[in-house]
Each structure stands twice: as C-alpha cells, then as structure tokens.
Amino acid sequence: MHKNREVILENGTSPAVLRPQELEAVYSISRAVAQAVNTDDALDEIIRLARPVFIFDNMVLYQVKSEDDFIPIYARAIGRGRSQEAGLVWGETTALEVIQKNQVVLKTEEAENLEDRTRLRISLGLPLNSGTEERSALVFIRFGGPSYKPDQIRLAEFIGSHVTQLLERDQLVQKIASLEAERRLDRLQEDFIATISHELLTPLGFIKGYATTLLRDDTTWDDTARAEFLTIIDEEADRLHELIDNLMDSSRLQAGTLRMSYQTVRLDTFLRDISMRARSRSENQKIELKLKTDNLRVPIDPARMAQVFDNLLINAAKYAPGEVVTITLLADQDQAHVIVEDSGPGIAEDHLKSLFKRFYRVPSNETTVRGTGLGLFICRQIVRAHGGDISVESQVNQGTKFHIHLPFQRNEEENQISFRESS
Ligand code: ADP
C-alpha cells in the first residue's frame, strides 16, 4: 500500500535566480544540445551535466501518442541499487498525470512495506510541449527525501526546455528525411513514367503513322510499298510486345513475384542450344564455344536463364556487330562460371557501375541501335534469383566480358527472397 501526496505546480517558468554552479550547468547543457549529433548521446550528456546541481536517481522520457497512450523513448537509472525498469513503472503514473493535466506534477509515494530509503519515492514530471505536434513528458525520480523545492523545480524546467529543443530538432530532422525520401520516390516515378511513355510511344508512332498512310484514300500504293509499310507495322508491334513483356518481367522481378521453375540442367548442352538459336536468329553472328567442362549440372529455370544469354548475345550483335562472341564454361569450386565475351567497342569505365540499373543506356551518338536499358537489369535480377551473380568487365576498344556465376546447389529459401534494384 502506498500513501500518496501530490503537489501540482503552476506551469511556466518564472524568472529564476540560478546559482553560479547551476547557471554553468544550464549553459553547458545548452551547448551540448546545440552540438548534438545523436539524441540519445545528447540526453546522456544532459544527465551527466545536470547531476551535480540537480539530484535524481532515474530519468525517463515518454513520447505521448494520446492522453492514455505514451511510450518511454529514453530511460536512465543512475542512482545506486535501482533499476531502470523500476523507474519506468514509477514514472508512468506521474507521466499519465502530467499528460492529462499538461502541468508540472510533483508526487511523493511512500511504500509501507519497505524499510530503506527507497521507501520514499519522489517523482517530478514535466510536460514538454514542442513547437511541433509531438508531445513528450519528462519524469525525474528520486528515492528518499527531501522533496524538490520550487527553485529546484525551476531548474528542472530549464533542463526540460533543453530536452524539448533536442526533441524538436530530432523531429525536424526526421521530417526532412521523410520528405526527401518522398521527393526521391516522386522523382523516380516521374522518370519511370517519362521513360516508359517515350519507349512505348516510339513504336506506337510508327504503327499509327504507317497504318494511317496505308488508309489514305487520296493515294494509291504499289505492292512493294504496301508490303514495306506492313513489315514496319509488324516489326514495331513485335517491339511493343517485347517492351511490355520486359516491363512486366522487370516489375515482377523487383517485387519478387516472378516464379522460377527450376530443373537440373547440363550447362554445356544448354549453352550449345543457346548458341544454335542465336545463329538461327542472326546468320551473321559468329559464336565460339569453349566448354572446358562437361556434365556440369546446375539447377536453373531454363526459360529464364535462356532469356539472360539471349539478351547478352543480342546485345553483342547490336553493340559489337560482326565480332565473334566467345562463350566459355568453367567450374569454379562450388559455382559454374560462364563468360560471354566480344571484341567490340567496349564500354567506358564510368558507365560500368550503372550498367545493370533499370533503364540505364550508355549515351551514344549511334541512333540506329534501339533499346530500353531494361535487358541487363532483367539479366541481373534473374541470375540473382538463382543465387548467382552477373558482372561486367570492359575497356573502350578492348571488347566486353560478362561473367555469370551460378551455384551448383540451390538454396530453397532463395525463391522467397525479393530482389530490390541494386545500385
Ligand atoms: P538496351 O540494349 O536495351 O539499351 P541493356 O540493359 O541490354 O539495354 O544494355 C544496357 C547498355 O549497355 C546498352 O545500352 C549498351 O550501351 C551497353 N552494352 C550492353 N552490351 C554491350 C556490349 N556487348 N558492348 C558494348 N556495349 C554494351
């Protein structure tokens, strides 16, 4: 059983006369607040500076969510033999009153069943109302008498006002960070929409233009011209289809919702099939296979992994036309290592770190080579979904080498991982 006595004080700081030592502590506290980088460290420093002039055993800072919902965001026990948890419990009843009355509360509680100095608990609660909407309460707890005198309460209010400043600053920093994140997201979305719209509108423009031309009734077209226009429409419709497929893959890969269907496949056979398909797609593409190991079995989703190699070979045909592409298969400890290498124009070092980013294309004067910058992004996401990785090595005029590493064993949990765009 507790016998409680309670004094509610007028809120508001009246001009207090501080003793030199107290004044010195208050100045040091305000300096510590001005220089604070981390809120918790600054609160530790406030305690250290306040202790010589203001006696307390525990200090608890509560963040107020509503009148009866508040959580401790900082607690320190500095008195001998007392725990921080105990301070939290005793601080709560005082904090509740402070929050409900929005006033300074001084409470004295006496525990009848205790004999030592902890029998008497004095708690001083201060409302901290910052300029923002956030509210907090600061509670000092002291075991044994005497209770806090009015001048000590004013000193506590000075300390409280500095804690308020610290919290205000922390809230502002958090608010700025969240606004920045929102702005970044907005900008990303705008860039995304602009790129997509541009990429979708280009083939659509061709389709619309040539279809309208064919439908004009004031001109007649011979069979050759008509066939040419229809071929363009057909090719651009395919391109539009491919673009939408790529976009859907890229967003599913990013959300981690693209299902992989794994089979254990012999990589040498798989790479032979890939190169045969590439040769039939483009007769000019010369591919050399260097399969340094056979019977290397790796669990892959064959359709998705084919998409990766097709993309690398199509890129080689686009950006290194006429050059031989070498595909090398090696076994590295517990991984298969495939190298796809061309001796084309290469890529300048500045661009290499961004090459696998969504929509990234190396700026070029060559306007006839079309692309969206989605291919390598998708490649990396697919390879990573297999627990492997893809990297690039290149120098201007020295050709380009893509390295793909795939683990022999697949970790079942890898299917669950959702992959985020990497930098
Ligand atoms: P896209 O081909 O649609 O532009 P990718 O993501 O497949 O997009 O490729 C990104 C960029 O990387 C390309 O725009 C190109 O500049 C560069 N690139 C890719 N492969 C090669 C290569 N073999 N040689 C030189 N540059 C390449």
Site to substitute for ligand 1 among 202, 364, 376, most atoms within 8 A of C-beta: 376
Q: Whose CA is nearest to atom 19 of ligand 1?
A: 315
Q: What angle in degrees, to the nearest 10, is found between the helix axes of 39-50 and 20-35?
A: 170
Pairing label, strands 297-300, 335-342: unpaired
What number of CA atoms fall less than 13 Å from residue 57's CA on the CB side?
Answer: 24
Residue to substitute in 315, 358, 378, 382 for testing ligand 1 pocket (most ligand atoms within 8 angstroms of CB): 315
Q: Summarize the confidence of residues 217-236 as an average pLDDT.
A: 92
Q: List pLDDT tens digits, range 133-191.
A: 778 999 999 888 788 999 899 999 999 999 999 998 888 888 899 998 888 888 877 87
**Lowest-pLDDT range, 14-28, 203-217, 266-280, 308-322?**
14-28
Residue 50 Cα to ligand 1 midpoint, Å, equals 63
Looking at residue 423, its pLDDT comes to: 32
Q: Cis before residue 146, ω within 30 degrees of 0?
A: yes
pLDDT, residue 411, reads 52
Q: What's the pLDDT at 3?
A: 47
pLDDT winner (highest mean) among 224-233, 365-374, 406-415: 224-233
pLDDT at 71 over 70: yes
From the CA of 373, give the closest atom in ligand 1: 8
What's the rounded Cα separation, in Å, for the pair 304 and 231? 29
Region of 373 please: left (phi>0), alpha (psi -120 to 50) or beta.
Answer: left
- Given the CA of residue 371, which atom of ligand 1 is nearest to it? 3
Q: For residue 210, what pLDDT band results from cuts at 50, 70 and 90? A: very high
- CA distances 410 to 13, 300, 335, 383, 420, Å, are 67, 9, 11, 12, 20
* Residue 30 backbone dihedrals phi, psi, to 5 degrees: -65, -35
Nearest CA to ligand 1 atom 20: 315
pTM, 2 dp: 0.57
Provide the pLDDT for residue 7: 41
Q: Domains in the chain, start-ordered, CATH in brackets? A: 2-178 (3.30.450.40), 185-255 (1.10.287.130), 263-416 (3.30.565.10)
Q: What pLDDT is stored for residue 186 in this prediction?
A: 85
Q: What residues does ligand 1 touch, defined as CB less than 6 Å away?
A: 311, 315-316, 319-320, 342, 344-345, 347, 355, 360-362, 371-377, 400
- Tell me if residue 368 falls in helix, strand or coil: coil
* Residue 239: its H or E element: helix 223-255
* pLDDT score at 353: 94
Distance 332 CA to ligand 1 centre (A): 27
- For 38, the token pair is 């981390």
Tokens encoding 275: 């190169």
Banded model confidence at residue 406, pLDDT cuts 50, 70, 90: very high
Alpha carbon dihedral 217, 219, 222, 224, in 10-degree steps, equals: -90
Average pLDDT for 324-349: 95
Average pLDDT, the chain: 85
